[in-house]
A and B are shown apart, each in its own frame.
Chain A
Amino acid sequence: MKKTLSTMLMLIIAATLVLSACGAKTNNEGAAGGNNEGAKEEEVKSDGSGKDFKIGMVTDVGGVHDKSFNQSAWEALEDLTAKTGAATKYLESKGDADMEPNLNKFVKDGYNLTWGIGFLFNDALSKVASENPEANLAVIDSVIEAPNVASITFAENEGSFLVGVVAGLMTKTGKIGFVGGMEIPVIKKFEAGFKAGVAAVKPEIVVDVNYTGEFGKPDLGKIAAATMYDKGIDIIFHAAGATGNGVFNEAKARKNAGDDVWVIGVDKDQSLEFGDEVTLTSMMKGVEAAVFKISQDLINGTFAGGTTQELGLKDNGVGLPETNKNLPEDVLKQVEEFKQKIIDGEITVPVEPAA
Chain B
Amino acid sequence: MDTFKKIFVKSSVGIPLAAIVLGLLFGAIVMLAGGYDPILAYTSLVQMLFGSPYDIGEAIRAITPLIFTGLAVAFAFRTGLFNIGVEGQFMMGMTGATLVGVGLELPWYLHAPLAVITGALFGGIWAGIAGYLKAKRGVNEVISSIMLNWIALFLSNFIVAKFLVQQGQQKTPDVHDSARLSMDWLVGLMGNARMHWGTFVAIICVVVFYVLLWRTKQGFELRAVGHNPDAALYAGMNVKGTLVKSMFISGIFAGLGGVFEILGVFGYQTVMAATWGYGFDGIAVALLGGNTPVGVLLGAILFGGLSYGSAGMNFGADVPQEIVRIVIGSVIFFVASHGIVKFFLKPFLSKRAEKRKEAV
A/B touching: CB–CB < 8 A: yes
Instruction: Using CB atoms and an 8 Å cutoff, list the residues of chain A in contact with chain B.
Output: 2, 5-6, 9-11, 13-15, 17-18, 20-22, 24-25, 28, 32-35, 37, 63-64, 89, 91-92, 94-98, 100-102, 104-105, 108-109, 119-120, 123, 131, 181-182, 184-185, 213-216
11 residue pairs of the A-B complex, CB under 8 angstroms, read A17-B325, A21-B326, A28-B322, A35-B318, A37-B318, A91-B315, A97-B61, A100-B58, A181-B273, A182-B170, A214-B274
CB-CB < 8 A to B287: which residues of A? Answer: 6, 9-10, 13
Quick one: which of B238-269 are within 8 Å of A by CB? 261, 265-266, 268
Binds A, one of B1-9, B107-115, B214-222, B328-336: B328-336
B50 at the interface (CB under 8 A from A): no
- A123-B322 contact given A18-B333, A97-B62, CB 8 Å threshold: no
Q: Mark B182-214, 1 if CB is under 8 A from A, else 0.
A: 000000000111100000000000000000000
- Specify which of B58, B271, B336 is in contact with A101 (CB 8 Å cutoff): B58
B90 at the interface (CB under 8 A from A): no
Q: How far is the CB of A122 from chain B (nearest CB, A)?
A: 8
CA distance A108 to B170 in the complex (A): 29
Q: How far is the CB of B98 from chain A (nearest CB, A)?
A: 14
Query: Which residue of chain A has its CB nearest to the CB of B287?
Result: A10
User: Are B54 and A33 in contact, with the CB atoms below 8 A?
Assistant: no
CA distance A20 to B284 in the complex (A): 15
Binds A, one of B119-127, B133-141, B306-314, B349-357: B306-314
Query: Which residue of chain B has its CB nearest to the CB of A22?
Result: B326
Q: How far is the CB of B257 from chain A (nearest CB, A)?
A: 12
Query: Which residue of chain B has its CB nearest to the CB of A21?
Result: B325
- A10-B311 contact given A21-B329, A24-B321, A97-B265, CB 8 Å threshold: no
CB-CB < 8 A to A120: which residues of B? Answer: 270
Query: Which residue of chain B has its CB nearest to the CB of A34?
Result: B320
Interface size on B, residues (CB 8 A): 51
CA distance A10 to B265 in the complex (A): 30
The B interface, classified by DSSP as helix, strand, loop or mixed, is helix
CB-CB < 8 A to B270: which residues of A? Answer: 96, 120
- A63-B321 contact given A91-B314, A98-B311, CB 8 Å threshold: yes
Query: Which residue of chain B has its CB nearest to the CB of A37?
Result: B318
User: Are A184 and B170 in contact, with the CB atoms below 8 A?
Assistant: yes
CB-CB < 8 A to B268: which residues of A? Answer: 123
Quick one: which of B56-90 are within 8 Å of A by CB? 58, 61-62, 77, 80, 82
CA distance A90 to B314 in the complex (A): 9
User: Are A14 and B82 in contact, with the CB atoms below 8 A?
Assistant: no
CB-CB < 8 A to A9: which residues of B? Answer: 283, 287
> Which of A6, A18, A21 is packed against the most chain B CB atoms within 10 Å?
A21
User: Are A17 and B328 in contact, with the CB atoms below 8 A?
Assistant: yes
User: Are B336 and A123 in contact, with the CB atoms below 8 A?
Assistant: no
> Which of A96, A97, A109, A182 is packed against the most chain B CB atoms within 10 Å?
A97
B146 at the interface (CB under 8 A from A): no
Q: How far is the CB of B166 from chain A (nearest CB, A)?
A: 11
User: Are B318 and A13 in contact, with the CB atoms below 8 A?
Assistant: no
User: Are B284 and A123 in contact, with the CB atoms below 8 A?
Assistant: no
The A interface, classified by DSSP as helix, strand, loop or mixed, is helix
User: Are A92 and B261 in contact, with the CB atoms below 8 A?
Assistant: no
Known: A14-B332, A97-B261, A108-B191. 17 other contacts (CB 8 A): A6-B77, A6-B287, A11-B336, A13-B284, A17-B333, A18-B329, A20-B329, A21-B328, A21-B329, A32-B34, A32-B322, A91-B311, A91-B314, A182-B170, A185-B170, A215-B273, A216-B273
User: Are A17 and B329 in contact, with the CB atoms below 8 A?
Assistant: yes
B323 at the interface (CB under 8 A from A): yes
User: Are B322 and A14 in contact, with the CB atoms below 8 A?
Assistant: no
Q: How far is the CB of B85 from chain A (nearest CB, A)?
A: 15
User: Are B318 and A14 in contact, with the CB atoms below 8 A?
Assistant: no
User: Are A5 and B82 in contact, with the CB atoms below 8 A?
Assistant: yes
Quick one: which of B267-326 are within 8 Å of A by CB? 268, 270-271, 273-274, 276-277, 283-284, 287, 307-308, 311, 314-315, 318, 320-323, 325-326
- A10-B337 contact given A17-B329, A89-B315, CB 8 Å threshold: yes
CB-CB < 8 A to A18: which residues of B? Answer: 326, 329-330, 333
Q: How far is the CB of B288 from chain A (nearest CB, A)?
A: 9
Q: How far is the CB of A353 from chain B (nearest CB, A)?
A: 14
CA distance A97 to B329 in the complex (A): 21
Q: How far is the CB of B48 from chain A (nearest CB, A)?
A: 8
B347 at the interface (CB under 8 A from A): no
CA distance A123 to B171 in the complex (A): 10
User: Are B277 and A104 in contact, with the CB atoms below 8 A?
Assistant: no
CA distance A184 to B307 in the complex (A): 30
B236 at the interface (CB under 8 A from A): no
User: Are B336 and A10 in contact, with the CB atoms below 8 A?
Assistant: yes
> Which of B276, B283, B311 is packed against the most chain A CB atoms within 10 Å?
B311
